[in-house]
Chain A
Amino acid sequence: MTNEQPPLPSITPLYEPYYRYTRQHELRMQRCRDCGHVRYPFAALCPVCHSEGAEWSRMSGRGAVASFAICHQAFHPWFQSRLPYNVALVDLEEGPRVPTNIVGVRNEDIRIGMSVEAEFEDVTDEITLVKFRPRGPGGKQDNPAH
């Protein structure tokens, strides 16, 4: 099992620019050229105004934990030696709510509303994942909006 590879995302044409930027340690998402809406999941059309024009706009990387859960059972061999691990949803300042992991904090100290910032984890030469770390001293700058 020690040679087991982590599960990796399939890169579709819609997602190729996202991963191209994360390789450079930049978090970018599609921003509508017409109405400014930030699209997630990535799509051919803006769900608000149906514009097809979008630019890969750089995100602040700041957000807040919307929810989290702790996995105590591995459903892929890669995670067997990593139990228990956390999974989370983070609300980016720009709007999208993305799936991720929270790093740099013990699972029992993760809180909904916790302010976090993006961190880049190079998994392979091709794939860099965006994870989030508590922001500020001890991650105590909670977002009261949550």
Chain B
Amino acid sequence: MRVQHLRAMAAVVGVGKSVIGRNLEVDALTLMSHAFKAALEDSGLKKEEVDGLIVNTGGAECDRLPQLLGIDVQWSSQTWSHGRMSGIILEWAAMVVHAGLARNVLCIAGYSSHAVRTRTVRGGSGEAYRAGGGPHWEAPEYGIIHPGTLPALAFQRYCHLYGYKPELLGAVPVAQRKHASLNPDAVYRQRITLDDYKKARFVVEPLRLYDFAVVNDGAVALIVSSADRAGACRKPPVYLSGMQGMQGGKEWVIFSRSNMGVAQQSLSRDARRVNRAVYEMAGVEPKDIDVVEIYDSFSPEVIFDLEDFGFCPPGEALGWIQGGRIEPGGDLPVNTHGGHLSEGMLGGFNHLAEAVRQARGECGERQAPNARLVQYTLGPGVSIIFRGG
């Protein structure tokens, strides 16, 4: 499938974040309001010019939010409250402005621990108990309750297939904490060593405490405009140069990869997802990418995505990341804000915000040098390549 004609048809023109923190005792709508105001100011647009809306998180309905934010939208929508929707929301907004259904689309997500507490059923996510199994293949009757159990199972198999010691995974949280130490917004900024990692308790062995996302409050807003309008905004536009949607199928298992997850059958057990569309649309190759922001609720996702998006051959990422390669100043800085593991869990929206800011070159101490092409990836094949002006 060749979609080069859509290359750079839209751009992110505004980015805003609320404060990020644990147990802020602030509702998600308030946090989202702060994020929107910041994004609007960043863009230089007036609120009257925002005429499209896509909401990621539940509890803030797409017909109620415009009243609270004081905007009149002519095209709005909403997704299921899962971070896996983050990338496709931005892609959807790009298509909407390209099609002319709206001019400036607000994409927004907000989380508050208050909401998490109220939806929790006896520990873990209440969703795990839904009929037919949870959304991440949870099976509570067997004790598969926390979503992190799934990447633990996949990563154990990865280490078995490729002959790794699982503790090598520590390079991911160590690197991301190093990035986070340079990020004033991050929830956890204290650097950790591999020794600290190995001393941390197992949650779902082989995964340890540092392999899990922070649970926190916060909101992020991004404003997407068509490329022809984007130049009039306050800051240089950051174009969506390439994009690739969410995949599904027999071999698709969230937090896992081919031949490593739940419920996969032998039909095509050795099949490997080929994530090429995003590069073909952008007209670049993995070697051209300056920075990658990888959706990381759990450390193994970084390993899997580096392979699935062609930065390393299959089975090599866990070795490849050792020795500082994804740290600040490394060959390929990954999760320059600290990711979900250290900056905070904002359903990938914080990764999108960071990608735009890195492509603008406005990240201060943590800015990767000469970052022009910044890629966002998310396990189920979702990816966007951002190009700075």
Contacts and interface: CB of A to CB of B under 8 A. Distances in A.
Interface in B137-169: 137, 139-146, 149, 152-154, 156-157, 160
B263 A100 contact: no
A112 B132 contact: no
Interface in A68-83: 68-77, 79, 82
Interface string B123-147: 1100001111100010111111110
B265 interface: yes
Interface string A120-139: 00010001010000000000
A12 B132 contact: yes
A88 B141 CA distance: 12
B157 to A, nearest CB: 4
Contacts of A104: none
Contacts of B142: 87, 99-101, 129
Interface in B167-185: none
A36 interface: no
Interface size class of A (residues with CB under 8 A): 35 or more
A69 B123 contact: no
Contacts of B144: 87, 99
A75 B145 contact: yes
Given A95-B266, A96-B263, A71 B149 contact: yes
Contacts of A2: none
B262 interface: yes
A96 B105 CA distance: 44
Contacts of B146: 71, 73, 75
A113 B137 CA distance: 22
B122 interface: yes
A84 interface: yes
Interface of A: 6-10, 12, 14-15, 37-38, 40-41, 47-48, 66-77, 79, 82, 84-85, 87-89, 91, 95-101, 112-113, 123, 127, 129
28 contacts: A12-B131, A38-B265, A40-B263, A41-B133, A41-B263, A67-B157, A68-B153, A69-B153, A69-B207, A73-B146, A74-B123, A75-B145, A76-B140, A77-B122, A79-B143, A82-B143, A87-B143, A88-B153, A89-B262, A95-B266, A96-B263, A97-B263, A97-B265, A98-B263, A99-B144, A99-B263, A101-B143, A113-B160
